[in-house]
Amino acid sequence: MQPLRGELAWVTGASRGIGRACALALARAGARVVLSARSVEDLQAAAEAIRAEGGEAYVFPLDLLDRAAIEACARRIEAEVGPVSIVVNNAGLALSAPFHRTTYEDLERMLALNFVAPFWVVRSVLPGMLERRHGRIVNVASTAGRTGHRYTAGYTASKHALVGMTRALAVEVAAKGITVNAVCPGWTETDLLEGAVENIVRTTGRSTEEARAQLARMNPMGRLMRPEEVARAVVFLADPAAGGITGQLLGVDGGEVLA
């Protein structure tokens, strides 16, 4: 069964990790998928993986820190592929440091990629969704968008901003055939996780295995999440059967955050 047949999904940060898993899962559900990120080589590899399974994939490289580039990319997608009906804002950046050592530059980068870029991606396709009275917007946030963690004030603030946008826009477009939700993963087997592990090793002197175990212990299941688990949640929220769900935060975190 392919509930998303006929839909066009745009996934950011689609070259690897959660984004790549989302692109593959959406294609398996029948959607045509547009993949965006900076690395053309990695995007092409992800697109080929989709095509090898009989899916449709289109590569549109994009620097999400460039607002004009986001708008131009959205126009190209509509002109060359078709109108976007599903948006998955997955690209993100996680940097950690004690509050008093967090630099302005790092704070600015995290806010730009984790909040401002998703805002402009959605803004660039929302008029068409409103006109067609149909759309699914899924933002990949984090447990950090639902609670606080030590040494991540900048990252946590950026994800809370993304959650705030999700909820506000959901209410704004609720009567117009568009749903807006967020998926909030816990620690997941991605490059972001490896960066966190390296930081723990560097600052504490622990081994890589000890650092990974430390992160896994934050999860009641005692393990790390898998990108495919997050992707399934994204596909669920994009499904027509989820049309009554909007403004919600769906945790894929093994029970880490229950409120």
Which residues have a catalytic role annotated? 155
Report helix angle 117-132 to 153-173, nearest 10: 10
Helix residue ranges, H only, the chain: 17-28, 40-52, 67-80, 104-111, 117-132, 153-173, 191-204, 208-217, 227-238
CA atoms of 60 and 73, how far apart (whole Å)? 7
Query: How do 32-36 and 86-89 pair as beta strands?
Result: unpaired
Place of tokens 């959406």: 26
Q: CA 21 to CA 19: how far, in whole Å?
A: 5
- Residue keyed to tokens 């946008």: 165
Angle at 142 (CA atoms; ends 123, 164), nearest 5 degrees: 45
Distance of CA 148 to the CA centre of its chain: 19
Cβ(187)–Cβ(225) under 8 Å?
A: yes
Q: How far separated are the first and last CA of the chain, in Å rounded? A: 34
Nearest Cα to Cα of residue 94 among 161, 54, 151: 151
